Amino acid sequence: MEKRTQAQISLDDLTTGQRARVTKINAKGPFKKRLLEMGFVQGSIVEVIKYAPLKDPVEYLVKGYHVSLRHEEAQKILVEKVDH
C-alpha cells in the first residue's frame, strides 16, 4: 500500500456535500482505465452527491457527470479536500 500525505484521504472518506481534488489513483489495469475514462483524473474536482439507502454505492459528481462507485472502488482514489 502506498503512503499518503497528511492531506490525502480516500474518496470513500468524504461525506455528502464535500468536495475534493483527485491526487492519485491506486488501481491498475482495466479498472484504472475505467476510472480515468469516467473522469477521475489527477486534478479533477469530485463532489459527493448522496449515499444509496444501504450506503453503497455512492453517487459522485465529476466533470459534470453523475457516477456511482462502490466503497471498495472509491477507496482506490486518493483526494485532497477543497472548499466549496
| pTM, 2 dp | 0.86
Domain 8-82 of CATH type 2.30.30.90: yes
Contact 56, 48 (CB under 8 A): no
Q: Model confidence over 6-44: pLDDT tens digits? A: 589 999 999 999 999 999 999 999 999 999 999 999 999
Continuous H helices in 15-84: 29-37, 71-74
> What residue ranges do the domains of the chain occupy?
8-82
